[in-house]
Amino acid sequence: MLQTHAPRTVRVPVENTTLTITDITADAAGLDAFDNHERVWHGRDTVRGLNAIVAIHNTALGPGLGGTRVWPHETFEAALTDVLRLSRGMTFKSAIAGMDFGGGKALIIANSKTDKTPALLEAYAEMLAALDGQYYTGEDVGFTVADADFLRARTPNVTGTTVGGSGNPSPVTAHGVFLGVKAALKHRGIDRLEGVHVAVQGLGSVGWTLCEKLAAEGARLTVTDIDDARIRQAVEAFGATGVATDAILPVPAQVFAPCALGGVLSAETIPALGAKIVAGAANNQLARHEDARLLMERGVLYAPDYVINAGGLLNVAAELAPGGYDRDATMEKVAKIPDTLADIFRRAEEQNRPTNDIASEIADERIAARR
Ligand SMILES: NC(=O)c1ccc[n+]([C@@H]2O[C@H](COP(=O)([O-])OP(=O)(O)OC[C@H]3O[C@@H](n4cnc5c(N)ncnc54)[C@H](O)[C@@H]3O)[C@@H](O)[C@H]2O)c1
């Protein structure tokens, strides 16, 4: 297993570069989302257009591992809040999946369709290299396998590459979510997908593959995306019903599968939720941890996001294991996601507590044991 590199001062600015990397941990500590992050770095290169944050939450179990998101947040504070919440989630995701990695995440503030130039990625590769093993990255929203390969040719701290063999993590994430949807239905006494109505929000890499799997077993789909073309494709491919983005939450489906961005379930939106199960891929589905209690009080079974969507992380982490990527061994680990969920659902019910309380307790115990 990899050696943990404690966060420390990075050797930047590197000679002959326009990149600067600043430790902004103290600034980040002022935000609600900070939650004792070990280190937060800001990489800036005005010449090459890089404006990136790398957040390292907790390295008790190993170096920070988490994808790079490319998203054009309107303010730096919004970006920082997003990356801090995502990074913290990675700590829990790794811990509960039994992995020897810590929580980390990166966010490049940019539009992935228009701003993600080779020069920007070059600068980002320099930033990752300078962090020298504190943080390993991979795909997330707006960051593709091709981007990962581009970085991997310049720095070793990159997973989810064709070079390392694991490639795109999204199909593996989707498979884990699919198994998780079934586990949630099973907990509610439903043993087959045929005729089950699932509302899917977001038809990107994960959401689309999830729809394929659900449709193949006879589920009835209602779908949405901000991209109308994607909705039309899903209507054609799966016989799905397409709805506007603001109409997905109230759909009276059995399962709501959020597969877009985070924060969709909040005190404001939960009263409108039509489904009695929430099981999807998106990270940080709840606006606040406490919102899981609102779901529980409404009789909604919530599959904690970082438990159900751990497939992709298991897949990319396998690239870093001794001996390299082993697909069969990885899929065996993914196949345990429904067991973990079933255990969480059972304990939550017995103790009359929200499922995410139980999940974070299990993760905390593992981190504390290592300390
Ligand atoms: N890709 C993975 O392996 C992986 C692993 C774990 C978690 N996740 C999480 O799952 C989610 C989806 O990831 P992805 O890789 O499929 O991303 P993606 O970028 O391929 O897809 C996201 C989709 O959501 C759509 N979308 C954005 N905002 C929307 C809105 N308000 N309403 C409806 N649709 C909207 C986008 O148009 C896009 O089609 C993200 O939250 C990501 O962090 C992904």
Distance from the alpha carbon of residue 77 to the mean position of ligand 1, in angstroms: 21
Nearest CA to ligand 1 atom 38: 204
What is the pLDDT confidence band of residue 165, given thresholds at 50, 70 and 90?
Answer: confident
The verdict on whether residue 223 carries a ligand-binding annotation is no
Same domain, 113 and 192: no
* Bridge partners (DSSP) listed for residue 109: 71
Q: Per the structure, how many domains does the chain have?
A: 2
Same domain, 148 and 175: no
Atom of ligand 1 minimally distant from the CA of 313:
5
Count of alpha carbons within 13 angstroms of residue 249, beta-carbon side: 14
* Per-residue pLDDT tens over the stretch 52-97: 999 999 999 999 999 999 999 999 999 999 999 999 999 999 999 9
Give the percent of the chain with pLDDT over 90.
Answer: 90
In this predicted structure, the answer to whether residue 3 has a pLDDT above a threshold of 80 is no
Same domain, 218 and 357: yes
Q: Is residue 105 part of a domain?
A: yes
Catalytic residue among 105, 116, 182, 213: 105
Same domain, 77 and 209: no
Distance CA 213, CA 229 (A): 20
Q: Is 253 left (phi over 0), alpha (psi -120 to 50) or beta?
A: beta
At 278, give phi and psi (nearest 5°): -115, 115
Residue 341 Cα distances to 73, 112, 353, angstroms: 33, 33, 14
Same domain, 146 and 215: no
Atom of ligand 1 minimally distant from the CA of 261:
41
Say if ligand 1 is within 6 A of residue 334 CB: no
Range of the domain at 66: 20-91+100-152
Same domain, 345 and 209: yes
* Per-residue pLDDT tens over the stretch 21-52: 999 999 999 999 999 999 999 999 999 999 99
Same domain, 63 and 199: no
Same domain, 277 and 145: no
pLDDT of residue 126: 95
The verdict on whether residue 202 carries a ligand-binding annotation is yes
Tell me: ipTM over 0.85.
Answer: yes
pTM summary value: 0.91
Same domain, 259 and 293: yes
